[in-house]
Each structure stands twice: as structure tokens, then as C-alpha cells.
């Protein structure tokens, strides 16, 4: 089996300070990545910051369950409780793109509640408007690099 040196088709860059998510697509004719789309996003608030670093898409789900994070926004007795995708208490909408594996719980997702894009108000994930998430969901694949800075 031959080793492939082909670049990945997408590169996702999240600027936590500017509240943006930029998607770059590889252009073979130009031998570089070109900006394809830019979105306004919500990142983690103080005390629940979105992590910094290079991550890779570990998996995707169109119907993700939600595990309540230990957070003062929620009553302590529901911390760790899991809500199925069809439960009205599950805030996810459009899907979840997992970064760094299931144990981190960090990813990109849409939300059925007020997305407050352009702010630092999430519990650590990168929250997007649902139509924006759907636009990139089908284009990224397992292994797509996601740089959070």
C-alpha cells in the first residue's frame, strides 16, 4: 500500500478571540488552501474555555445525545445526565462534529436554543448557527484538522 501525501481537502480554523470559524479548501491548481467560508461562532465562556490546539475530527453524528456538563448553569443533580437527541432538553441541532474523542466532549454543533454567536458563552464547544453547521457537516470527514487558537 502506497503512502498518500495528498493534503486533506478541508482545514478548519477557529479564532476564539474573534469568534470566527474559517473553512479552507485545498486547491491543487494553486498548491495551497484558499478561504472557502467564514462563520460567526460561540466559544467557551470564562471557566469553561474552548481548548487551544490542533485537533482532528474524530467522528460525527446527526442525532447526538447530550451529557449535561458539570456547570453552575445547571442544577447539580442533573450533572452527567444524558438526554437523547429527541428530548426537548437536548440543545443540539443539526449534528455534532466531535474533536479529540468522546472523552473530551468538545466539538462543533448547532443549537436549537439561542446560539449567541459572536460571544464567549458556551460550555467549551464551538457553537454554530444550525444552517452553518449543516453547510460544513457533509464536507468534513474523520481526520479533518481543526485548529483552535
pLDDT one-digit tens code per residue, 42-88: 999 999 999 999 999 999 999 999 999 888 888 999 999 999 999 99
pLDDT of residue 4: 54
Q: What kind and span of H or E run contains 135?
A: helix 130-137
**CA angle in degrees (0–180, nearest 5) for 18-19-22:** 90
- CATH code, residues 10-148: 2.40.440.10
Q: Which residues contact 117 (CB under 8 A, 6 or more apart)?
A: 19, 39, 40, 41, 42, 127, 128, 129
CA dist 58 and 52 (Å) reads 17
**pLDDT single digits (tens) 85-135:** 999 999 999 999 999 854 567 999 999 887 789 999 999 999 999 999 999
Domain boundaries, given as residue ranges, for the chain: 10-148
pLDDT given at position 115: 72
Amino acid at each position: 500500500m502506497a503512502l498518500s501525501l495528498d493534503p486533506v481537502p478541508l482545514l478548519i480554523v477557529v479564532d476564539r478571540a474573534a469568534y470566527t470559524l474559517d473553512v479552507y479548501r485545498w486547491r491543487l491548481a494553486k498548491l495551497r488552501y484558499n478561504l472557502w467560508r467564514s462563520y460567526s461562532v460561540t466559544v467557551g465562556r470564562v471557566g469553561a474555555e474552548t481548548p487551544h490546539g490542533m485537533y482532528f475530527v474524530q467522528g460525527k453524528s446527526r442525532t447526538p445525545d447530550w451529557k449535561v456538563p458539570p456547570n453552575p448553569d445547571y442544577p447539580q443533580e442533573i450533572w452527567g445526565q444524558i438526554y437523547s437527541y429527541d428530548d426537548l432538553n437536548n440543545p443540539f441541532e443539526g449534528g455534532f462534529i466531535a474533536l479529540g474523542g468522546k472523552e473530551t466532549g468538545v466539538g462543533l454543533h448547532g443549537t436549537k436554543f439561542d446560539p449567541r454567536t459572536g460571544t464567549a458563552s458556551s460550555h467549551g464547544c464551538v457553537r454554530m448557527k444550525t444552517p452553518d453547521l449543516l453547510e460544513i457537516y457533509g464536507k468534513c470527514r474523520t481526520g479533518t484538522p481543526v485548529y483552535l487558537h
